[in-house]
Amino acid sequence: MSEDSRKKFGKRIRTLRKQAGWSQEKLAAACDLHRTYVGAVERGERNVSLLNIVQFARALRVKPADLMEDIS
């Protein structure tokens, strides 16, 4: 994933998180991830694994493919 793709993915996570009315800490708890990891993902600093994409999708109640929208 290029840096641009990571930033787009992070922006998508942030948008869905805010739509849910969740803090980064609440999303992290729902995903069983550390809150600093969630912040780094949202800033596009982390290359997210498939397992974590699935965890984000489950927590946000969307399909994993929905997280990849407009990331090409």
* CATH code at position 13: 1.10.260.40
The number of folded domains in the chain is 1
Per-residue pLDDT of the chain (72 residues; tens, 9 = 90+): 556 899 999 999 999 999 999 999 999 999 999 999 999 999 999 999 999 999 999 999 999 999 998 887
Q: How many CB atoms are closer than 10 A to CB 14?
A: 17
Q: Give a yes or no: residue 58 inside a domain.
A: yes
pTM of the full predicted structure?
0.92
Q: Give a yes or no: residue 72 inside a domain.
A: no
Which residues, including other chains, have CB under 8 Å from residue 65's CB and lie 6 or more apart? none
Containing structural domain, residue 26: 3-65
Q: Give a yes or no: residue 56 inside a domain.
A: yes
